[in-house]
Structure 1
Amino acid sequence: MPETQLYFPNINRAVVLYQDQFGGTDLLLNRLEGWLINKGVIVVDESCLQQGDNIDLLLLPTSRMDSIYTLSRQGINYSKVLVWAMGYGAFEAAFYSPRAKSYLFSLSTIPIRSLQYFFLKELLEHNSLVFTDVAGMDYDLRSVQLSSLASAKLIAPIAVKSHNFIPTLQGCKKRLRVGWVGRISADFKIYPLIKLLDDLQELVVFKRLEIESITIVGDGDAEWLLRDYLKTYKKISIKWIASILPDSIGQFIFDEMDVLFAMGTSALDGARFSTPTVIVKPFSKVEQRSDISYRWIYESQGYSLGELPDSKSSLEQPSKNLEAIFKELSLMGPSEIGSRCYSYSTTFFEDNAFELLLDRDLRSVSRRVIYYSKFLFLLNTVKMLVKRIIKLGMS
C-alpha cells in the first residue's frame, strides 16, 4: 500500500516523461515514478493523458523538453514543470551536438544557442531545472552567473536503492581481490580500464603489491579492444563476466571484491554495500592518460562520480595515483574505508535524493516556457527531416 503523502502536499497528480531509450536515464525515471506512487502521488502514464486532464507536476529529462509544448497543444493542463538534466552536457545536447565543429555548422548554431540560452534562463527563473552533479551543472551554466548558494540548490543526484550497512573486515588482506564494474565502451571507459590494469600490473611487478585476482564485470562495443589487450596480460589472474542482474550486483561486489574501481552508478553499487570503492576518471583518448586518476568515492565533491578531462568544475576534485590508494587502504583498513564509502552513498539513497529533487519552490508554467519549448519542437522537426533527406540521398 502507498504511504501517506508527507512530503509534497501540493503534488497530487504527476506525469513522468521517458526518453524511450534503454539506459540509466529511463531506469532512474522509472524508479522516481515508483517512489512517487509509494508516497501517495497519483502518477498518470503519458499514454493515458487526455484533453482537459489536470496535472500538478510534469517531470521530464532534457531530451523531452519539446513535450512541454506538445502536451500543451494537446490540451493537457499542467501547473508546474521540472526538468532533470542527467549527465554531462545534457541540456546543450537537447539543442545540438557540440561535437560538430565545422565552420558552417558553427554559424548555423548561433540562433540555436540563443534559444538554448533563453530557455535555460527561463527554466532557472521558474526553479524548474535540476542537474545530477556539479560537473554537468557547471558545463551547461557556463554562460550564466549564479551564487554558490543558488547553484547548490540546482543539484539533485542520481538515486539508488537504500541498503543496510554491512561491516567489513578490520584488517587488510595480504592478497587482494580487485574489481571493475562498468560498460566496456569505446566512448570514455575502455581506456581508463586498460590504464587501471596497466597500473595494477606495475604495482605488482615493481612495488610487490599482492593481488589474488581481478574481476571485470561489463560488456560493450569495445570488448574486442579489451580481448586484444588481455592476450598479453600475464601477471594477474583475470575473470571477465559480461553482466550481472542489477539487483544482484551489489552483493556480488561485496562477496567477490576487496576493492572496487568504477565510475557513475556502478561505483555506488559497491559503496552502498560497504565495499571500499575508488572513482576512476573517464577519458576517451590514449593521450589523455594521467597517473593521477583515482580517488575514494567519499572524497567526491558535488555528487560527481567521474569527470571528463576537459570538464571545468567550480569544485576541485581530489586526485591521487594508484599506489597512494593502496597505501591508504593498508593504513586505514577496509573497515574504515568501507564505512566512509557507505556513509557517502547514503546521500544517493532514494528518499534522500528524490526529496532533494522535489524540495524546491516551483513557479507556475509561464507562456514563455511553452514558447521556447515550441521552438525546440520545431528545431527537432527540422533535424528529423534533414536526417531523412540525407538517408534517402545515401540509399
Structure 2
Amino acid sequence: MRVVFYYPSMIIGGAELLFYRTACELHKLGMNIAYVDYHDGYIAKKLNDENSGIDTISIDKEPRKSLESQDVVILPANFARVLDTLDFCSANCRLLFWVIHPENLVPKLPSQIPLPEKSLSYRLLSFFLLRTERKNITSLLNICDEYNGIYYMDGACYRQHKSVLGNINSPKILPLFVPSKGIISAKFNRSSVSGKKLKVAWLGRIDKSFKHFILERLIRDLNELGLYETLELCIIGQGDGIEYIKKVVAECTEVDVRFVSHVEPNLLQDYLFQNVDLLCAMGTSALEGAKAGIPVVCLDASYQPVDFEYKYRLIYQGEGLSLGYIINQNWFPDENKLSIKEILLHVRENFRLHAQKSLKFYQEGYEPSNVIKELKKAVEATNLKPTCFPGKLFRKSLFVRIWRAFR
C-alpha cells in the first residue's frame, strides 16, 4: 500500500504545511509515501531539495504518472466535488477526504456577485441556484461517510456542514497533525509582560477570500489601542491579499507594523517563542503558537468586511477542538466574549497562565503521536473509491456553470 497526498500549490500556507508534515511523518515511520503537486510547486521543490525519499508526482508535466489500485489518496474535502476531473486517479484507488476548513464543499454564490449574504436577493438567488448543488453534495458526503472516506478536523467544520447541508450519518473527527520540537519552558517563568512593548503577531496565508477581512479588523482594533498601548504587530505570511492589507496598514499609524513573508517550517516554533507575546491566527497556524507555549487568540474567518464590534477569544475558550468559525455581522460564536483590549490586559497581567493553557489545549487535543495513530487507522479503514459515486452527482448544475462564468 502507498499513501498519496494530493495538494497542488505554488505557495506555502497552513494546509500545505499540514500535508507536507504529515507525509514526512508517515515516511519516517516506514510507510510508502508520495506527494502530488505541480512540477515546480512549493512542496514538490522542498521534498526534492531535501532528498526526502518521498516520490513527487507532477499533475502538470507529461507524461503524467497514474495512481495505482493499491494507493490510498488523501485529499482536502473540497476536491470531492470535482473528483471526476482528477483523471490521474485509478478507478480502484481508495480515497480519504479530510475536511480542513469549515467551508470545504459548502456551496456559495460566486464572490463576484455584489450582494450581501443576508440580503433577500442573495437568499432567493441562493435558494434557486444552490438547491440542486446542496442536494448533490449532501448525497456525496453520505457516500463518503458510508465507506469511511471522510473525516472532519474539528467540531466547527462538522457544525458548518450540518447547518448548511444537514446531518451526516456518522461524522468522524481526525485532528490536524502539528508536530512539536518539544517545549522550551523559559517563558513560563515570566508571569507577566508589563512595562514592555507587547509583541503581537498574525500568522497565516493572507488571501482575498476569508482571511483578509478578519486581519483588517485586528489591525484596526490594535490601531485604536495604539494611542494607549505600546504595541508591535508582526504580520507573517503571504498571499494575494497582501497589497490590500498593506493599504490598511498605511491608514493605521498608531501601531508599529512589520511584514515577514515567510519563516521556514523547521524554524517556526523557535521564532514564535522568541519573538511573539500573543499570536492571532486560525486553523493550523493557531496551533503553531499553542505548541510553542505562547498565548493564542483564535480568529474566525469571514467572507465579508468585519465592520461590526467583533469579540475575540483565546484558543482554549473555544468549543471542543475548534480552530475557527465562519462568521458574519449577524452571527459569531458565543465563546467570543472579549475585546482585544481585554485580551491584551489578560496577557500583560498573567502571561504565564494563558501560555500554559494554550500549551495544554495543544497537548490534550492535538498530541502528534495520537493524531498519527488515528490517521493510520483511517487510511486502513477507508473503502471509498471513485467507482462508489454515481456519475449524475458530477453533472454540472446551473450553479456550477454560473460560477465558472464569473471565475
- What's the TM-score bracket when you normalise by the shorter of the two chains? 0.7 to 0.9
Q: Out of 115, 118, 124, which is 2:136 matched to?
A: 115
CA contact (8 A) 2:217 2:307 kept: no
- CA 31–296 in structure 1, closer or farther in 2 if over 3 Å, else same: same
Work out the CA distance in 1 between the residues paired with 2:317 and 2:234.
Answer: 24
| Local SS of the residue matching 1:286 | coil
Shift of 1:172: 1.3
Q: What is the one-letter code of the residue matched to 2:182?
A: N
- CA 193–17 in structure 1, closer or farther in 2 if over 3 Å, else same: closer
| Local SS of the residue matching 1:160 | coil
Q: Out of 14, 28, 33, which is 2:18 matched to?
A: 28
Q: Out of 259, 275, 282, which is 2:301 matched to?
A: 282
Work out the CA distance in 2 between the residues paired with 1:115 and 1:86.
Answer: 20
Work out the CA distance in 1 between the residues paired with 2:331 and 2:2.
Answer: 33
Q: Out of 80, 99, 106, which is 1:65 matched to?
A: 80
1:251 aligns with 2:241: no
Normalising by structure 1, what TM-score?
A: 0.75
Q: Out of 304, 311, 314, which is 1:296 matched to?
A: 314
Over aligned residue pairs, what C-alpha RMSD do you find? Answer: 4.0
Q: Which runs of 5+ in 1 are unaligned?
A: 1-12
Matches within 5 A, 1:93-108: 107=128
CA contact (8 A) 1:217 1:242 kept: yes
Work out the CA distance in 2 between the residues paired with 1:63 and 1:104.
Answer: 22
1:179 aligns with 2:201: yes
1:348 aligns with 2:366: yes
Work out the CA distance in 1 between the residues paired with 2:332 and 2:208.
Answer: 28
Q: What is the one-letter code of the residue matched to 1:39?
A: L
Matches within 5 A, 1:1-395: 13-22=1-10, 23-43=13-33, 53-55=68-70, 57-65=72-80, 77-78=92-93, 80-92=94-106, 107=128, 109-142=130-163, 143-145=165-167, 150-151=170-171, 154-167=172-185, 168=187, 169-173=189-193, 174-175=195-196, 176-205=198-227, 208-209=228-229, 211-286=230-305, 288-292=307-311, 294-310=312-328, 316-331=334-349, 333-346=350-363, 347-360=365-378, 362=381, 364-365=383-384, 370-372=387-389, 374-376=391-393, 379=396
Q: Which runs of 5+ in 2 are unaligned?
A: 37-56, 58-63, 114-121
Work out the CA distance in 1 between the residues paired with 2:296 and 2:309.
Answer: 19
Normalising by structure 2, what TM-score?
A: 0.73
Q: What is the one-letter code of the residue matched to 1:283?
A: S
- CA 36–146 in structure 1, closer or farther in 2 if over 3 Å, else same: same
Q: What is the one-letter code of the residue matched to 2:301?
A: P
| Local SS of the residue matching 1:215 | strand
Identity, % of aligned positions: 21
CA contact (8 A) 1:267 1:278 kept: yes
Shift of 1:273: 1.2
Shift of 1:155: 1.9
| Cα-to-partner distance string for 1:91-124 (whole Å, 9 max, x where unaligned) | 335xx75757697886465444333222212222
Work out the CA distance in 1 between the residues paired with 2:301 and 2:402.
Answer: 34
Shift of 1:66: 6.8
Shift of 1:17: 4.4
Aligned residue pair count: 362
